[in-house]
Structure 1
Amino acid sequence: MGKSKSIRTAIIGAGPRGTSVLERLLAHAAAHAAAHSGPASLHIDVIDPYPAGPGHVWQPGQSRLYLMNTQSFYPTVIPEDARLAPPVAGTTFDRWRARQQREPMPALTLDERSELAALGSRDFPSRALYGRYLRCTLDELTAKLPDGVTVSFHETTAVSVRPSRDGTPGTPGDGAPWDGSQGDGTPGGTTPSTGTFDVGLAGGASLTVDSVVLALGHLASRLNPEQRELQASAAQLGLSYFPPAVPADVDWAAIPAGEPVLVRGMGLNFFDAMGQLTEGRGGKFIDAGTRLEYQPSGQEPLIIAASRRGTPYRAKAALAGYYPASVTLRYLTEAALERFAATGIRPGFDHDLWPLLHRDTLWAYYSTLVRSQPAAVPDASDFLAALEEALRPHAHSAANWEAAVESVLAVHVGPRHRLDLPGLASPLAGRSFGSRAELDAAVVEYLLDDARRSALGEEDPVKMAIGALHHGRAVLKTAVADGGITDESWVAGLRGWFESFVEGLASGPPALRAEQLAALARAGVVSFAGPDPRFSVDRRTGRFTAVSPWVNGPPVAAKTMVEALAPANRVSANDSPLMEQLLADGMVRPRLMMTAEGAPVQATGLDVAPHPYRPVAANGSVTDGLYVLGLQLSATQWGTAIAAEALQPGGATYASGQRTLRDADEIAQAILGH
């Protein structure tokens, strides 16, 4: 084999995804060195204004009140797939946690040591501690660089990526494949680029590289028209408006104590806001034996929580693993996906995939009901046999299988024990309230019931129905990726209704947060606006207002409003100089999808060609050497915001669990010409 060529690549974005690409490059470089005589020359430029490893979101210095939405056993940036090149260093977060408990690094702070001392495998770590893991992993990787590999970190912003003007080789890379072989390592068969890219940095410097990886993560985003109007009105009237943001970037101290603050959104960012404005201001939660109580510090504002449902996301169940062990999918399985493929069917979401997952959800609920509450269904064996027959795919036409199930339920299960899926997602639907106090009491009742169910774990039928949806979401990620469903199904079904439905049920906070919110409401620190609120600015009184059609009484009003939402993940609405340049130059374009009426709609993510993912230019061409990983793939992959999933011994394993790490591996192989 001839002498290997030198390669220079740039990774833009140094958070978990950028770190994964770096890790895979090192893994393949080490494997190459072991298999061939002499090291190859590889230089990696990592560009991010935030410290590499944690990147923007996972900074180790942020408040420890910001918790991860997954337990310690879940996340990893190191792949565990024996088919991939072995890592040169690093491990999963949970193994790192256990190692730090046994032999803590001297660099750990007192806060980190204190958190680690009490943190178990099933506990929810702080984002700050996960950031420390990411930084530690990066340090371990760079301490074991294979021969011939160098890495430079640039703590600045990349503002442009353009093909080099003269097309001449860069320094040190010359754009040639890793071993002098031809081909770009992808099944698509695009022509390998022999040119280079100029990466412009803030301040005027530039780098010339052979390839670029866009691992951009969360981008700043322009406000939508309603948000712009609220912001402009706030500026005119002297009000305080906090637009969508990464919670750690918000100046929570600017929200005055003792005054109402209107908080829109009751998803995960809401609980971050709640924590900062209560415990973050010196308040304390006290275990009063039968329930949690809140002791105010006197520095809290009055939080008025508002969302379309009127209630927060449902809390996670107490489980031994990421998925409930008692739930096994019977209908929406990977084998079912293979059957669609074998018959040449490109499934529709509402017509083909959801009916299968709906069956799994019903079976999970009623089989758990029979097991955990035997008195609810006296003739359990007859009932389950009849239900199984009614659920059998293709035993009935798509038009009447649900009617067959209803007939079985009418015979065997009383109304009180029936599953109401729409009601789970919208627990206040169909109700009206004579006062805000009546509404607050109803929400507290919902929160305590939800926390009680979470504590029951695998013994609660509702949480196991949600558990089936959680299992199914992992299968759906594989089913819908890379054009696996029709555009109209993606737009109208998957993103149109199912995404918000399943997020509200299966992506909630730890159950402790539900108990804390109930305690805050009882203490008078939190109140609720009600379902379907309308937001506006009352110029006469100089206040933000929110009014629910289902709650009697005057609108809620406040001089401060917080959008408890992440910035919109939509490339066409980004506020990033780099993404705007790429779009303006036609190097990338948003993906267009066709609705059922034949109208094109702009999707959230970039148009890309697999595999590995490379952006499609405005003219339809694909530029080799430019790669995309992560959130900007949201029009090709579903659920890209979730971290890579560590393997759970004895637990369910899905192909989508480490998809991001395999994507990073494909990019690394393409860069190196493998």
Structure 2
Amino acid sequence: MTNTQSFQVAVIGAGPRGISVVERTLAGYLALAPQDRPELGITVIDPFNPGPGHVWRTGQSRLFLMNTPSLFPTVVPAGATAAELAASPTGLSFDQWRILMADPDTGVHSGLSAGDREELAALTAGAFPSRALYGRYLEWTYARLEEAAAAAGVQLQHVRAEVLSLARRGSGPGWTLEAAGEGTLAADAVVLALGHLPAALSAEQDRLRDAADRHNLRYLPPAVPSDVDFSVLPAGEPVLVRGLGLNFFDIMIQVTVGRGGRFVPSGQPAGRALRYEAGGREPILVAASRRGTPYRAKARLDTYVPRSVKLRYFTEEAAAVFRNEGILPGFDHDLWPLLHRDAVWAYYSTLARVAPDELSAPAAVFLDELRAALDLPGPEWDAAKEKVLDRFVPAHRRTNLEALAQPLGRRPYAGAKDLDDAVLAYLEADAAGSAAGEDDPLKMAIGALNAGRTVLKTIVADGGLAEASWLTELRGWFEPLVEGLASGPPPERIEQLAALVRAGLVHFVGPDPRFDVDEARGVFTGASPWTGTEYAAKTLVEAMMPANRVDRNISPLLGGMLRDGLARPKVMMAADGTAVVTPGLDVTLPPYRPVGISGDPQEDLYVLGLQLSSVQWGTAIAAEAGSPARAGARTVRDADDIAAALLASAARGGGSSGAGTADGRQLAATLPGGTPRG
């Protein structure tokens, strides 16, 4: 930041959200008439490469896959969003970039590796790319932003360093940043796009780590998977793995295919379509999670939301009724009954289409009566729906969406084999359902829940849900349910896991697992109250990311901001009046500025991404290409709001030299949308 004659913006964090801020700021800048453009400099500060940042590094194993298909993610406006916001200097979603790079001539001359080109040649819109390839897209996007900035006269630079502290610049406006190895940097405005931060271990994790030190055991704490050396997991020995989410599948694939094993076609139907040929160096994974099973796999589709799913009950218009009547909705009472109806319809309308002979009356008759029941007001619909189902649908074809949170039920198992067999049956059925795609009733119900997540994010953001409901209903029971159903791995991972279970290389602890240390034997133990079986191992891996809680972070920057009173966690009130410290920061309405310990917002300081988890729901999900800015592409809209505020501040002469040619309100009004949003 050497040019003190221009408005200087520091973006801390060079991953996808930081790049979206840069892109939106350049887009807003280019949308101004040349005579209205203030002098502008943007510095992106991150020890990792700009674009990929930490999580999406291009050098990581290509075995690590995204859990969204190619058609989904973007860091720039695309589709419907592109029509709402200022034109992008780069303009490509990941899938648009994939198509461009798949052209042999383009790919060869775009800095892609041979591995990138090989992956692109086989990748489709509905397939799941590697995280390394997504990082290449982000890297490419940043390079195009550098070109656009240079052409526009905007100084865009990357400082490869970690920001250690942030403080007000003297008594006036602006900020001073201390960057490791770079000394002190000055900025007129700062954007925090921090992404995943290191976090302190929980008390139980601390206990397990201490036990590992005492007994010479191996304990791998929560971490970004690409940071972990999985080669230390011992071949032929049991390894306890806590967590059956996405990190588990990264471990699974690294210690199998990553060690020379192969999945080969078995010639059997989906669910048993693969068999595993061992490489000989695999550990034996003993996996555990609260529900006892992995997240359900994504369905094989060529769209993100199934084509057959159309939300009729849970819409923004329906939710607006509460707002228009001055009602702050609760999730259980007001919102879930609407979304529940849509999921029920998706399930049974699919069932009526694919298995009409199993119904006790013609499908059209059944669907007419079901629709009439679902259309009933208030609580009447649920009882009426049950009566319709009792008349028309055999018991083995019924479903209970809320019960899916406990896929193994609440029953004891007769030992380890009984449990493994039950989980294997679950995996095989889930893989078969994914392969059926639009023809699987359960996957279509999940598709409705997934579509509803996007609507729900819009409704509950920024205080749109009663706080007690946010704590105990949305976050308390619905979030674990919908994540287990709709946030699962690519379908091939469940098929592969089933093959490993059949090969005897993966076992399961069971629901509600307990991990401990047998001090006499000097081993970790894992057991479930539902099996009576105890597993022992000298290695325990936490298959999860560091806790996304600002009050547990150990980042020097954010920790220092909390200590210095520049920021504070958001506190909500539970139903009994108890104050609850939430995981995210306390911030203003968009553009999000952190609220300090005094209760005042910090001027020219903005937050984007994971640390907004207490005012937005689902902050870890990428922006959806083609979705409206207020909905699935909300992250891009948030970046656009921040960009508008930055440019308005620059125009007011907020920089160190007072650069700027227009009043901030006038500048904001010239941005797309026509009204100030800063």
Structure-2 separation of matches of 1:122 and 1:325:
13
1:523 equivalent to 2:503? Answer yes
Instruction: Work out whether 1:557 is the aligned partner of 2:536.
Output: yes
Checking the alignment, whether the CA contact within 8 Å between 1:264 and 1:562 is kept in structure 2 is yes
2:127 is aligned with what amino acid? D
Deviation sequence 1:28-61 (CA, Å, 0-9, x none): 12122xx132753101111001111100000000
Query: How far does the alpha carbon of each residue in 1:38-91 deviate from its partner, in whole angstroms, 9 at most, with x for none?
Result: 753101111001111100000000000000111111111111332311112241
* Cα deviation, residue 429, structure 1: 1.0
Q: State the identity as a percent.
A: 54
Ranges of 4+ aligned residues in structure 1 off by more than 3 Å:
none
The aligned amino acid for 2:120 is L
TM-aligned CA deviation for residue 423 of structure 1: 3.6
Task: Name 2:563's counterpart in structure 1.
Answer: 584
Deviations 1:527-582, CA, capped at 9 Å, x for gaps: 111111111011111111111111133x1010000000111100000010000110
- Show the 5 A alignment for 1:398-417: 398=379, 400-417=380-397
- Cα offset, 1:444, TM superposition: 1.2
Distance across 2 between alignment mates of 1:607 and 1:656:
22
Matched, 1:480 2:455: no
Does structure 2 conserve the Cα–Cα contact (< 8 Å) formed by 1:283 and 1:297?
yes
Counterpart CA distance in 1 for 2:257 and 2:554 is: 33
Question: What corresponds to 2:75 in structure 1?
Answer: 77
Within 1, Cα distance between the matches of 2:630 and 2:398? Answer: 33
**Counterpart check, 1:152 vs 2:166:** no
Which residue matches 1:164?
Answer: 169
Deviation at 1:166, TM superposition (A): 4.1
Within 2, Cα distance between the matches of 1:475 and 1:166? Answer: 44
1:211 counterpart residue number: 189
Q: CA deviation at 1:16?
A: 0.3
Instruction: Name the structure 1 match of 2:665.
Output: none
Q: Which residue of 1 aligns with 2:477?
A: 497
TM-score, normalisation: structure 1: 0.92
Structure 1 position 231, deviation (Å): 0.7
**Is 1:624–2:606 an aligned residue pair?**
no
- Is 2:204 the counterpart of 1:233? no
2:512 aligned to which of 532, 548, 553:
532
| 2:117 paired residue among 96, 113, 116 | 113
Mapped to 2, the partners of 1:526 and 1:105 lie a distance apart of 41
> 2:516 touches 2:525 (CA, 8 Å); kept in 1?
yes
Structure 2: distance between partners of 1:499 and 1:489: 12
1:614 partner SS: coil
Q: Which amino acid aligns with 2:83?
A: A
2:20 counterpart residue number: 20
How far apart in 1 are the matches of 2:473 and 2:224? 28
Please show how residues 343-422 of structure 1 align to structure 2 within 5 Å.
343-377=325-359, 378-394=361-377, 397-398=378-379, 400-422=380-402
- Which residue among 421, 428, 444 is the counterpart of 1:448? 428
Cα contact 1:39–1:147 (8 A) shared by 2: no
Offset from partner CA, 1:408-437 (integer Å, 9 cap, x none):
211222211111223433221133221212
User: Any idea what the Cα deviations from partners look like across 1:214-260, whole Å, max 9, x if unmatched?
Assistant: 00000001011111111111111111000000000011011111111
Q: What is the DSSP-based 3-state SS (H/G/I as helix, E as strand, rest coil) of the residue aligned with 2:83?
A: coil
AA of the residue aligned to 1:443: V
Q: CA deviation at 1:294?
A: 0.5
Deviations 1:321-364, CA, capped at 9 Å, x for gaps: 00011011111111102212211111101110011111111111
Residues 1:138 and 2:163 are matched in the alignment:
no
What is the match of residue 181 of structure 1?
A: none
Amino acid corresponding to residue 27 of structure 1 in structure 2: A
- Three-state SS of the structure 2 residue aligned to 1:228 is helix
**Residues 1:659 and 2:634 are matched in the alignment:** yes
Give, as a single letter, the amino acid of the residue that structure 2 aligns with 1:367: S
What is the alpha-carbon distance in structure 2 between the residues aligned to residue 12 and residue 581 of structure 1?
Answer: 15
Q: Please name the residue that 2:300 is paired with.
A: 318
Q: What is the aligned counterpart of 1:336 among 298, 305, 318?
A: 318
Helix, strand or coil at the partner of 1:608: coil
The answer for unaligned runs of 5 or more in structure 2 is 649-667, 669-678
Name whichever of 280-289 and 629-638 sits farther off: 280-289
The CA distance in 2 between the partners of 1:147 and 1:410, in whole Å, is 67
Query: What is the deviation of 1:383?
Result: 2.2
What do you get for the CA RMSD once the two structures are aligned? 1.5
Q: Distance in 2 between matches of 1:654 and 1:428?
A: 39
SS of the residue 2:624 aligns to: coil
2:620 is aligned with 1:641: yes
Aligned: 1:61 with 2:44: no
Q: Distance in 1 between matches of 2:192 and 2:127?
A: 33
Question: Partner amino acid for 1:628?
Answer: V
1:670 to 626, 641, 645: 645
d(CA) in 2 for partners of 1:18 and 1:204?
20
Residues 84-131 of structure 1 show CA distances to partners (whole Å, capped at 9, x for unaligned) of: 111122411111111111121432111111111111111110000000
Query: What is the rounded CA distance, in whole Å, between the counterparts of 1:581 and 1:411 in structure 2?
Result: 63
Q: Structure 1: any 5+ residue segments left out of the alignment?
A: 168-194
1:186 is matched with which residue? Answer: none
Residue 424 of structure 1 is aligned with which of 370, 383, 404?
A: 404
Q: 2:653 maps to what in 1? A: none
Q: Write the deviation string for residues 284-329 of structure 1: whole angstroms up to 9, x where unpaired.
A: 1111211201011111111001111111001111112000110111
Shift of 1:261: 0.4
Distance 1:218 1:417 in 2: 42
Residue 655 to residue 325, structure 1, CA distance change in 2 (3 Å): farther
Contact 2:125 2:302 in 1 (8 A): no
